[in-house]
Each structure stands twice: as C-alpha cells, then as structure tokens.
A = this chain, B = another copy of it.
C-alpha cells in the first residue's frame, strides 16, 4: 500500500488544508486542464481507459508541494510548475493503479479501481503506460534534470514497495527497516516535488536543497500520521475501520513500536488473534498500546520529523514559498495533535 492511500481522517476532510488550498485554485485548475489534455497523448484505442485513471484526482498534496515550493504569488501560475505537478501526479497515479492490483482493491476514492474495472492484466500495462507518459512529459523541459530526478525517484518508490512486499513475508520487522521503507515509498515523492518545484522557480540551488530536505521529512511525518489514523482516526473511533492496517497484516509504526516494547512473542500472539478476526483482540491491543504510551511515542517521533522539516527552511524564511510550505507543516502538526483525543 502506498503513501496516504489508507488515509481516512484529517487531511481529506474540509479543514485547514482545504482552506490553504483555496490559494491554489488557479493552479489546480491549470493542473486539471493539463491532465485532461494528456489523454490525447495516449494512443486513440486506449484513451478511454487512460482517461478513467487520469480523472481520478485525489488530495493532490504532492502537487500542492510543487506549487508551494515554486511559489511566487497567488496570481502567478507557472506552466513549468503545472507540468511538473502533472508529471508527479501521473507517477503517483501509476503507483496507485499497480498498488490496487496487489491489494485486489475494488474501490479507490469511491470509484471502482482500474484493476477491478479493466482486469489486472490491463491495469499492469496501464500503470506502465502512465509511468512512461509521465517520464515522456518530463523530457520537454529544456534540460535532462527534471526527467533524471523523476525517473530516479520513481525507481526508489518502487524499491521501497518491493522491500515492503518482501518484508511482509519475512520477519525482518523493525523500526529501522520501516523508516527505510517509508523514506523510499512515501518521502521520496514529497522530496522530489519540493526539490524540483523550488529548482524550477528559484535561482538558489541551496533553496532547492533545503526544500528537498523539508519535503523528505514532511513525507516521513505524513506516512507516520497515516499510520496513526488507522488507530486514532475519526472512522477508527466510531468503529468503522479500526485496525484496517492491523487486520491486513501491514506493519505500521505503532505496531512495530508495540512489538519492540512487549517483545516479539507477545506481539506475534496478539497479531495472530487479530488476523483470526477476533474483534476483542483489536480492542485489547489498542488498550495495551494506550497503557504503554505507544501513541504518545509515535506522535513525538512524528513531530520530530515535522520539526526537522521546518528547520531546513529556517535560512530562507523571507521567501514567500517558505511561508506556504511552513503552513502545510503546521497543518499536519495540528492534525496530529487533533488525533490525540484518545
């Protein structure tokens, strides 16, 4: 499962982020138009299928990072940033298309997945076509730089997901491996969005580097937040989806920290009960986690990542793009605090 796909709470609901994104209205409109135009780059015979995927706009947090990193003012919509945002969205969409095959997911963002609608074979190939077209679009920048970074980041995202797939089968489950995996599968696209967004607008390569560091830490925090929502999100609290990750066998940060604390034997036993579908087992583990202070620890670690993100931008406080990026970091910080109502 890739970044944010499990998000049930917070950043998806009308909230501070939606308000902040109002300043991106024109940017997002241009992005929508750009993506809609891309349908015509595909061979006529597969346009309908490609279009089905391209229409499936999500939260667009990566696009927002592109626009904010290269921010000048509300009225300036740079075509280069729109192209970059479109490329990164397409890469992200391609990973989701492939992800849904592996998870045999039937719904994504309230729509039938490509895997379900067109079959897994077509979905494999469609993801490939989306990847290829994303990279192809990157070759229309004057230099190779954008394409070089995007293709490298794409490889790293895939590597992270391969590691996750292998880990799920093996016993190599620890926080260190977890951090490595989310750095690749989630933080990498956040990094490249910020790094290239800044690079396309600002002359200072130091700023691009700083924005990249910001993006990487923000992405890490975002994945950790996503993991927390499985236990503490609104839908979890009302009992609808509590422990979706738990029951799917996914290794999230709270669970890994729980295992570190209680030891592998007890953790495995509890987990086995959960996998057996025992509803009490989930309640028990959550209760134990609360007692052990696991959630507080995860929040502390997540906040540390947000602090590292904002720290990277300290030397560039005067830039309006820094302002925008820090707002996103603040909102994530607030969302995490809002989760702490257990």
A-to-B contact residues, CB < 8 Å: 41-43, 45-46, 49, 94-95, 98, 101-102, 119-122, 124-129, 131-133, 135-136, 139-141, 143-144, 147-148, 151-152, 154-156, 158-163, 165-166, 180, 184
Contacts and interface: CB of A to CB of B under 8 A. Distances in A.
Given A46-B159, A140-B144, 19 more contacts: A43-B155, A43-B156, A43-B159, A43-B184, A45-B180, A98-B125, A102-B124, A121-B165, A122-B162, A125-B158, A125-B162, A128-B128, A132-B135, A132-B158, A139-B148, A139-B151, A140-B148, A141-B144, A144-B144
A contacts with B: majority SS: helix
Shortest beta-carbon contacts, A-B, top 6: A132-B155, A139-B148, A136-B151, A43-B159, A129-B158, A132-B154
Contacts of A126: 158, 162
A147 B155 contact: no
B139 A124 contact: no
A251 B49 CA distance: 22
A249 to B, nearest CB: 13
Copies in the complex: 2
A125 B94 CA distance: 11
Contacts of A46: 159, 162-163
Q: Which among A43, A98, A127, A180 has the highest number of chain B CB atoms within 10 Å?
A: A43
A98 B98 CA distance: 11
A9 to B, nearest CB: 27
Nearest to A144: B139
Given A132-B151, A135-B135, A139-B144, A125 B45 contact: no
A22 to B, nearest CB: 35
A48 to B, nearest CB: 10
B129 A101 contact: no
Contacts of A41: 155
A121 B160 CA distance: 13
A120 B120 CA distance: 11
A130 B127 CA distance: 14
Nearest to A141: B144
Contact of A152 (B121, B128, B136): B136
A51 to B, nearest CB: 13
Contacts of A165: 119, 121-122, 125
A128 B129 contact: no
